[in-house]
Amino acid sequence: MKKYFLTSFLILFLNFPIINGFDLNPAYALSGKVNPVGTNLIVEIAKKQNPAVVFVTSKTKFQPAKGNTPPNRNPFGQFGPYGRPGHPQPPAPGGGSGTGFIIDKEGYILTNHHVVDNADVIKITLDNEKEFEAELIGSDSKTDIALLKIVKQTGDNTEFPYLALGNSSDVEVGEWVVAIGNPFGLDHTVTTGVVSAKARNIGAGPYDEYIQTDASINPGNSGGPLLNMSGDVIGINTAIFSRTGGNVGIGFTIPINMASDILEELKKDGRVTRGWLGVMIQKITPELAETFKLSDSNGALVNDVVPNGPAAMGGLKRGDVIVKFNGKEIVSVENLPKHVASVEPGKSVQVEIVRDGSKKSLDVTIAKMKEEKQA
């Protein structure tokens, strides 16, 4: 009799010169320095960057009724299977913990949305064990990114150590990375590994484009930095793939460019405004490509159109295949929501479709996405 195992993604709620005869091309672009093997580079990165990594704790006013247990929150989380003998106990109900990192001398901090979601009180602890309260400046649940700021007393002119944000577009599979965080409350733990893959879609949200790494990350690493060999942040550690709740060498990191793109908006408005097209879409399989007379499986198939929405007003219909949006090719169905979201509401864009085997171009005015809307 076959046994079926359920494997799940755990959203982290706590809250080369020559190698083996291969000549590495020195002109090949990487996000950081090439090879730390045989050097003290990782030691230098840990010493220099650790002071800018913080321990984040959050508390809520909610307390479960006596006799009730809090909900099971696995992913890097507050209430996972960590209370068994030999495992650290979970934090007290009504609170969570994770990691964050300072991004400027004023004390702005990036972390995960789920680390501070619904928190009434947020505190951060520095590498030197100094503790501060932090204010939630802005948060975005769709990308799981939150921006905090350290609250300083009047007259306090402290300048904080901070990390430089790198360019995650330059990241290459196989390059070395360093993760710093607070797994299971063990503060400022440093682990190393490589980039295992890029642009992973794990079904966690509409804009999934994770960097995959084998650097060890565990419950408590949520919101911590993934660094390249220049010590720059290339991602925010967010999720693991695990059957046990612990690290198995498959971790997922939000590309730092995704945070950089919304940083100023979070500072200014506390939230992110996105464009909305008003369609439900699905992947094009080889069978569907043949049915709709397509030359390949690129594009996004429209399987429903919201009445009176932007797409409907622009002339899109059920069965249309969107192959280009605002001048950008739609290679896969995952591309479209990201492109739509990046368009300023009220702007008119060209949408190229295939309908009944023929290409057609439509002008569509993008609307503002409401929180409950999906695409």
pLDDT in tens, 292-322: 878 888 899 999 999 999 999 999 999 999 9
pLDDT for position 36: 66
Pairing of strands 321-325, 348-355: antiparallel
Q: Is residue 182 over pLDDT 50?
A: yes
Q: What is the pTM of this model?
A: 0.76
pLDDT in tens, 22-62: 344 444 456 566 566 657 899 999 999 999 999 999 988 65
CA 81 to chain centre: 24
Least reliable range by pLDDT among 60-69, 174-183, 193-202: 60-69
Sequence-ordered list of residues with C-beta below 8 angstroms from that of 250, at least 6 positions apart, any chain: 196, 212, 214, 240, 241, 242
Q: Please tell me which residue, 234 or 209, carries the higher pLDDT value.
A: 234
Residue ranges of domains in the chain, CATH in brackets: 16-48+166-269 (2.40.10.10), 50-150 (2.40.10.10), 275-368 (2.30.42.10)
d(CA 54, CA 116): 14
Confidence of residue 335 (pLDDT cuts 50, 70, 90): confident
d(CA 363, CA 119): 43
* Residues tagged active-site: 114, 144, 222
The letter for the amino acid at 329 is: E
d(CA 117, CA 258): 19
Find out whether 316 and 364 touch, Cβ atoms under 8 Å.
yes
pLDDT for position 164: 96
pLDDT for position 24: 42
- Report the SS3 class of residue 274: coil
Q: What are phi and psi of 372, to 5 degrees?
A: -85, -10
pLDDT for position 12: 45
d(CA 281, CA 373): 13
68 DSSP assignment:
P
C-alpha closest to that of 371 among 265, 299, 242, 271: 271
pLDDT for position 62: 56
